[in-house]
Amino acid sequence: MPIPFLEPFRIKMVEPIRMTTREERTKTLAEASLNVFRIRGEDVYVDMLTDSGTGAMSDSQWGRLMVGDESYAGAKSFFRLKEAVEDVMGFPFVLPTHQGRGAESVLFQAILKPGQVVPNNRHFDTTQGNILELGGRPVDLAVKESGDPQLDAPFKGNMDIERLKSFIEEVGPENIPVGMLTITNNSAAGQPVSMANIRATAKVYRSFGIPFIIDACRFAENAMFIKMREPGYADKSIIEIAREEFSYADGCTMSAKKDAIVNIGGFLALRDHGLYEQVAEKLILHEGYITYGGLAGRDLEAVAQGLREGVDEDYLRYRLAHTRYLGEVLQAAGIPVYQPTGGHAVYADAGACLPHIPPEQFPGVALADMLYLEGGVRACEIGSLMFSHPDPATGKMITPPLELVRFAIPRRVYTRSHLEYIGDVAAEVVKNAGSVRGVKIVEAPKLLRHFLAKMDWIK
């Protein structure tokens, strides 16, 4: 009898984790200036800070580490990665990078001039940061439904095609060196993008002569959603769907720490040789030579193997069911959850959970802090602390539509009991929600401030 929602793996190595006392956690959080990024991993019991690089590699991946070719130039391991990328994604040119942001950085350095604009359904924080640092303007054009946490729709990560068209006409295609689409849409609650929408986005970019780059971090989870939700795809294999996703694009940036299930690594994959050469120059200066790009040969092996494991259908079916289960557990605990549950994470609506705390007082940070205090659970604010920034053109503050807390689930790491424990902790926090205070920033850098900000409770 097939039981599709069970783990398609078993455990053969374990890492001990430790429960702390409330006194310890109170002290730890104060020392971390209320910023969960400043807490040590060993002081966390269940860590849902990110799904990035936190996955468990398979025995095959660990095995590949031993055959890594550490040649500076032309390593065998690079060609194994190239083959895997071509096979799964269909792009002939690959530039390895230390992680996803490295790929973004070298791409934008090669093609983005100050004052230029990069549209996306929703930029991830590092993408936004890389564009801003070069004097560019990141613009988010996701469908309106993505801002409605209660609406149950299959593809809330989609690009708003009409807005994209009118936006390009307004700013002029000559001011847009590249157009993007992020699948799944991480900053919009991990919602998938439909194949029809990928196709339509590509058509718009192409009609204006704008190169189309997919931010592909979770392309496999996105493919599984397409298989489950989009008419015409139920009988297609994940790899067929993945290839079709990329067939409409000129390239992709990839954080292999997501759907390639490695602890470090990324790459930029491209179709056009000219663009490849332009970026290769930047890569050599900033990341490393074109056949390793800041990674060891063994890392390239693990990425190559992980790319193939990431598109395994049994794994993906389990993965999406596991994530959905955490959504159900949190809802049952009384935490309003963004609907429907995304692929890699569950997004709690902190704004709705703590309605007495206004966005300027960061309800998402307050909720994440309370989860840590209550039970050593670490989750991450995805709201005003992460995304509010002044518009470079007008100086007006741009704020995100929702104040969320993200529980990002490491791949192949936690069991159902861990998820149920999070539910128990959340239920305790909900009991005392009315007395939770907002927080204020004491000190913060300008770019990507959520990583380093120091905060304090509002008295």
Cβ atoms of 35 and 441 within 8 Å: the answer is no
Work out whether 128 is an interface residue with ligand PLP (CB under 6 A).
Answer: no
User: 138 - beta bridge partners?
Assistant: 118
Minimum distance, C-beta of residue 219 to ligand PLP, in the bound complex (Å) = 10
Work out whether 367 is an interface residue with ligand PLP (CB under 6 A).
Answer: no
Applying CB under 6 A, the span of 121-129, 133-141, 286-294, 316-324 interacting with ligand PLP comes to 121-129
Work out whether 255 is an interface residue with ligand PLP (CB under 6 A).
Answer: yes
Q: Find the binder of ligand PLP among 186, 291, 323, 339 (CB under 6 A).
A: 186
Torsion angles phi and psi, residue 226, rounded to 5: -60, -45
Applying CB under 6 A, the span of 93-101, 164-172, 328-336, 376-384 interacting with ligand PLP comes to 93-101
Q: Which is nearer to ligand PLP, 96 or 100 (CB)?
A: 100
The C-alpha atoms of residue 219 and residue 240 are separated, in whole angstroms, by 12
Residue nearest to ligand PLP (CB): 100
Q: Which is nearer to ligand PLP, 39 or 188 (CB)?
A: 188
Work out whether 52 is an interface residue with ligand PLP (CB under 6 A).
Answer: yes
Minimum distance, C-beta of residue 187 to ligand PLP, in the bound complex (Å) = 7
Residues 279, 280, 286, 291: is their CA dihedral positive or negative?
Answer: positive
């390009």: which residue's tokens?
168
Minimum distance, C-beta of residue 150 to ligand PLP, in the bound complex (Å) = 24
Applying CB under 6 A, the span of 22-30, 95-103, 148-156, 379-387 interacting with ligand PLP comes to 95-103
Q: Which is nearer to ligand PLP, 255 or 323 (CB)?
A: 255
Minimum distance, C-beta of residue 281 to ligand PLP, in the bound complex (Å) = 21
Which pair of tokens denotes residue 377?
A: 């659970």
Minimum distance, C-beta of residue 100 to ligand PLP, in the bound complex (Å) = 2
The C-alpha atoms of residue 125 and residue 320 are separated, in whole angstroms, by 24
Q: Strand, coil or helix: what is 301? A: helix
Minimum distance, C-beta of residue 103 to ligand PLP, in the bound complex (Å) = 8
User: 207 to 226, contacts with ligand PLP by CB under 6 A?
Assistant: 215, 217
Torsion angles phi and psi, residue 231, rounded to 5: -55, 135
User: 388 to 447, contacts with ligand PLP by CB under 6 A?
Assistant: none
Nearest partner of 309 among 64, 126, 138, judged by Cα: 64
Cβ atoms of 437 and 367 within 8 Å: the answer is no
Applying CB under 6 A, the span of 82-90, 94-102, 137-145, 276-284 interacting with ligand PLP comes to 94-102
Which pair of tokens denotes residue 131?
A: 């564009």
Q: Strand, coil or helix: what is 271? A: coil
Q: Find the binder of ligand PLP among 257, 411, 412, 449 (CB under 6 A).
A: 257
Applying CB under 6 A, the span of 36-44, 123-131, 243-251, 277-285 interacting with ligand PLP comes to 123-131
Work out whether 126 is an interface residue with ligand PLP (CB under 6 A).
Answer: yes
Work out whether 266 is an interface residue with ligand PLP (CB under 6 A).
Answer: yes
**How many residues sit close enough to ligand PLP to count as binding (CB under 6 A)?**
15
Cβ atoms of 6 and 318 within 8 Å: the answer is yes
Work out whether 99 is an interface residue with ligand PLP (CB under 6 A).
Answer: yes
Residues 36, 398, 392, 204: is their CA dihedral positive or negative?
Answer: positive
Which pair of tokens denotes residue 270?
A: 């491209």
Applying CB under 6 A, the span of 41-49, 120-128, 239-247, 355-363 interacting with ligand PLP comes to 120-128
Q: Are strands 137-140 and 377-378 parallel, antiparallel or unpaired?
A: unpaired
Q: Find the binder of ligand PLP among 64, 82, 101, 227 (CB under 6 A).
A: 101
Work out whether 197 is an interface residue with ligand PLP (CB under 6 A).
Answer: no
Which pair of tokens denotes residue 314?
A: 């049994």
Work out whether 138 is an interface residue with ligand PLP (CB under 6 A).
Answer: no
- How many C-beta atoms lie closer than 10 Å to residue 330's C-beta? 25
Give how far Cα 51 sits from Cα of 113, 267, 289, 332, Å. 32, 18, 28, 23
Q: Which is nearer to ligand PLP, 215 or 309 (CB)?
A: 215
Which pair of tokens denotes residue 98?
A: 């230390």
Minimum distance, C-beta of residue 214 to ligand PLP, in the bound complex (Å) = 10
The C-alpha atoms of residue 110 and residue 35 are separated, in whole angstroms, by 34
DSSP 159: B
User: 143 to 182, contacts with ligand PLP by CB under 6 A?
Assistant: 182
Nearest partner of 29 among 360, 378, 323, 289, judged by Cα: 378
Number of separate helices (H) and strands (E) present in the chain: 16, 16
Cβ atoms of 227 and 154 within 8 Å: the answer is no
Minimum distance, C-beta of residue 51 to ligand PLP, in the bound complex (Å) = 8
Binding interface with ligand PLP (CB under 6 A): 52, 99-101, 124, 126-127, 182, 186, 215, 217, 255, 257-258, 266
